[in-house]
A and B are shown apart, each in its own frame.
Chain A
Amino acid sequence: MGLESMLPEGFLTTTVDALISWSRKSSVWPMPLGISCCAIEMMAAGGPKYDIARFGSEVMRFTPRQCDLLIVAGTVTYKMSKVVRKIYDQMPDPKWVIAMGACTSSGGMYRTYSVVQGIDQFLPVDLYVAGCPPRPDNLLNALITIQNKIGKTKGHEFKNEIKPETAIINN
């Protein structure tokens, strides 16, 4: 599906674009990188009460090769940062990243020698979700925001070096 990035703007491509963006945003498959407490709220978001499957994220595949959205949930330490970067690199384009919780956004309540103060030091992040841990409704709100952003992105913008604008979601 990389062909549309090579076609110029025009009537046919905008219709194709709209179709592709709609289909991409309606079935975002997340890759849950559950590291600590935020992972439990992510599991609760996948549970029966706050059902994430009704928003299109029917499966949470644990292999990076089949996912488009990386949700980093939990404190990232220096020892774990290499692993997170490796998983991000293994995901195929197009991909987005949600930094869930206070620990991934800025180090959270751990200002110590072994915690990375914010994963945007080594990953390009699309969305920060505040909370410790954020409630599952907050995570669903974040997912809908990402879906809106995907819906607006045009085909020729899907290149590797894009730095999308970041948005902050509050409780």
Chain B
Amino acid sequence: MVFRVLYRFPKNKKKNMEKLTKEDVHPKIVQALLGEDTNITIEDALENEMILNMGPQHPATHGVLRVLLRLDGETIMAAVPELGYLHRGYEKLAENMEFQEFIPHTDRLDYLSPLSNNVAYAMAVEKLVGVEVPDRAQYIRMIICELSRLTSHLIAIGAFAMDVGAMTIFLWAMREREKILDILDLVCGARFTTSFTRIGGVAADMTGEAIAMTTKYIDEFEGNFAEFEKLLNTNKIFVDRLDGIGVISAEDAIEIGLTGPNLRASGVDYDIRKAKPYLKYSEIDFNVPVYKEGDCLSRYFVRADEVRESVKIIRQVIAKMKPGAILANQPKQVMPHKTEIFTKMEELIHDFMLVNFGMKTPAGEVYHAIENPKGELGFYIVSSGEGKPWRVKIHSPSFVNLQALGHLVQGHMISDVVAIIGSLDPVMGEADK
């Protein structure tokens, strides 16, 4: 039996740092510092606020995020994040490509869990066009979504712990992640950025060997993950550094638009897999972890609990899977399989029409969202009846989570900024689109 310990150490009150005034510094030092040709007067010297640039290249900003901080001593008065250093023009690209051509691009949005982004986009297009996906494809999609949730949360916890100072966890998390990437290598052909989903199903079937590998992995995983928690949950430095930092209440969290584990750590019980079930989540039995305190430590606990729930889901899905087709049988919208194109006539014609003119879509607009590991990933697609979309808007969870950064860091110290960014877990590939 696994004994889990969740610990919050008793707090001693944090003292306010006293502001230095000019009486505390010897006048000769002040004179040497200021020099002759400056426009700073002696009254201003130690009472000024300072602007610090946490630049785009920084070991801890999870990608290229620039944060401008206004400091009073070491306390933060205001923080303004600046995005756009990775803006690659996805929405403009999507208007110039056909629906099925855009799938490899969605991989690179949240590049820590590429498989679930594909599923989100494919489901939005399938909703617009009206394609019914076969059962086995839905179960395979659920398995890969939960596997990508595991990879994303492992890196989130690993990088977060590394930012706070615990380097071992990062290397252990990479080790676990490599085993998942071996499974994906076998199923999809690539370790990472796989573009595995197609509109109407998935690209390839999961063989018995892949399922055996997955089962073996999740049997060993729980024991390995318990070791992570043994190192972190009762570690006084880790807990003290995160307890009570970056608190946001449930009302504020909904108002400012947080989604995903960040929202559930503030006490709001909202998970799209339970509220508006997609794929076959309504048939699976799992819990949604919710914590009430709303600080960095709760966000970490939510992710650790979600990892366990994912393992439960994968086990149940593997037990339910039955052999069947993996691509829907709608020739006017679904691309046929490569082996059939080379041997059969109708499939060749359909492939030609779909690649050159795109699929037939009705004119209209649709919004579909799934529960990505980072939050709610939604695609708003406007179609005007052609094979290419008229407008695609990507609602990415990291973008909305970063909006809360200015609100969360006020009043904390500089070293807390790193912990807060790590607990929000942004990925700049999707925040900048």
- Asked whether, in the complex, the Cβ of B193 is within 8 Å of the Cβ of A132, the reply is yes
Binds B, one of A22-30, A107-115, A122-130, A147-155: A107-115
Q: Which of B11-62 contact A (CB under 8 A)?
A: 55-59
B337: CB under 8 A from chain A? no
- Asked whether, in the complex, the Cβ of A35 is within 8 Å of the Cβ of B63, the reply is yes
Interface centre among B55, B174, B177 (most CB of A within 10 A): B174
**Shortest distance in angstroms between A85's beta carbon and chain B's nearest beta carbon?**
12
**Shortest distance in angstroms between A10's beta carbon and chain B's nearest beta carbon?**
43
Q: Which of B56, B93, B112, B428 contacts A40 (CB 8 A)?
A: B112
Residues on B with C-beta less than 8 A from A47 are: 171, 174-175, 178
Complex: how many Å from CA A109 to CA B88? 10
Given contacts A47-B171, A77-B87, contact A40 B57 (CB under 8 A): no
A168: CB under 8 A from chain B? no
Residues on A with C-beta less than 8 A from B274 are: none
Range class of the B interface residue count = 20 to 34
A7: CB under 8 A from chain B? no
Residues on B with C-beta less than 8 A from A40 are: 111-112, 155, 192
Q: A18-62 vs B: 1/0 string, CB under 8 Å?
A: 000000000000000111110111011001110000000000001
- Asked whether, in the complex, the Cβ of A36 is within 8 Å of the Cβ of B111, the reply is yes
B332: CB under 8 A from chain A? no
Range class of the A interface residue count = 20 to 34
Given contacts A77-B88, A115-B89, contact A37 B171 (CB under 8 A): no
- Asked whether, in the complex, the Cβ of A133 is within 8 Å of the Cβ of B175, the reply is no
Given contacts A77-B88, A83-B57, A115-B88, 9 further A-B contacts (CB under 8 A): A35-B63, A36-B429, A44-B178, A47-B171, A49-B174, A77-B85, A83-B55, A110-B88, A112-B89
- Asked whether, in the complex, the Cβ of A79 is within 8 Å of the Cβ of B84, the reply is yes
B92: CB under 8 A from chain A? yes
- Asked whether, in the complex, the Cβ of B108 is within 8 Å of the Cβ of A37, the reply is yes
